Amino acid sequence: MKLLVIGGSQGIGRSVVLQALAAGQVVLAHGRDEAALAELATHGAHTIVGDLRESATLEALGNRADELGIDTVVASQGVAGDGALTTLTPERIRLVMEINTVSVIRLYHALRATLLERRGIFVVIASQASLRPERFDSAYCASKWAVLHWVQSMAALESPHGVSVRAICPGRTKTALFDDAMAGFAAAAEMSLEEYTEMILGLIPLRRFAPVEETAAATLFMAAHAPRPTVLAETGGEVPYSIAPFLVGGHQG
Ligand SMILES: NC(=O)c1ccc[n+]([C@@H]2O[C@H](COP(=O)([O-])OP(=O)(O)OC[C@H]3O[C@@H](n4cnc5c(N)ncnc54)[C@H](OP(=O)(O)O)[C@@H]3O)[C@@H](O)[C@H]2O)c1
């Protein structure tokens, strides 16, 4: 596998990079944080820097992916969209939609020729918020619902051409984005972070948040060149199966 990880500088994406390198794979890690990428280079990663809102970044990603023969992509870029209706600014709404939804679609267009040539895999890290709405998380839910429906539409369109487009919908995973979101939810709910955390843990049968390595391992399961479901709901039980059965059918080779 020759893997490109978008948003590989932090959080789930960074853990995907490290696990893939440990398994001996060629990895191209993308992000904006040059110091974080330089650290990944010491583990053997190729790196590429750029803001996904800029067309030049997408063009550079397409060129570099072609040079390296990338056949698998994990799209792990994302921003939190927490906040009550009264504190959610128009700028934040635009950023959430732009990074969580629009940048994924533009990225696929930039990489499509490379993926078609190699019968590749394109995995989007969506969210449990793609599967069910969450209070105080309206813009993020909208962005993640939209990207999941884009995945399902593209999976049907691209499968006959040999490219598998897939999504993983993780539950709450301990990262910087998670910390930002939980602080915003607690404030919007007018609760302390401790009270809010305890309330959410009560909704999760496992009664714990996922460590980043666990979500990264599930993401790499979805990135394998082997039959996989189009969508994997990996939520620790917070989203009951009854909500999502229509999303989990359909295997791709
Ligand atoms: N953590 C959770 O509980 C959870 C649950 C379900 C789904 N998810 C999803 O999983 C994915 C990864 O989230 P995470 O928790 O690992 O978040 P994270 O630690 O905050 O990492 C987000 C990544 O996105 C990159 N990014 C953000 N804005 C960008 C921009 N404008 N241009 C280029 N790159 C940009 C960041 O790059 P730099 O840092 O280099 O700027 C970073 O590498 C996201 O799609 C998120 O929505 C997370």
CATH code where residue 110 lies:
3.40.50.720
Q: Is 172 in the pocket of ligand 1 (CB under 6 A)?
A: yes
Angstrom distances, CA of residue 229 to CA of 3, 26, 168, 185, 249: 19, 24, 9, 31, 7
251 found inside a domain: no
Q: How far apart are CA 186 and CA 224, in angstroms?
A: 37
Ligand 1 center–CA 236 separation, angstroms? 20
Place of tokens 């990944």: 40
State the average pLDDT for the chain: 93
205 within some domain: no
Does residue 51 line the site of ligand 1, with CB under 6 A? Answer: yes
pLDDT-derived band at 165, boundaries 50, 70, 90: very high
Asked if the structure places residue 226 within a domain, the reply is yes
Backbone phi, then psi, for 144, in 5-degree steps? -80, -35
Number of domains observed in the structure of the chain: 1
Residue 128 counted as domain residue: yes
Instruction: Give the DSSP per-residue string, 29-40.
Output: EEES-HHHHHHH
Domain around 12: 2-174+210-235
Residue 96 in domain: yes
Assess contact for 75 and 107: CB atoms under 8 A: yes
Is residue 202 domain-resident? Answer: no
Residues 148, 190 contacting (CB under 8 angstroms): no
Residue 30's beta-bridge partner residues?
48
In-domain check, residue 163: yes
Average confidence (pLDDT) over 144-148: 97
Domain-embedded: residue 35? yes
Residue 248 has pLDDT above 60, yes or no: no
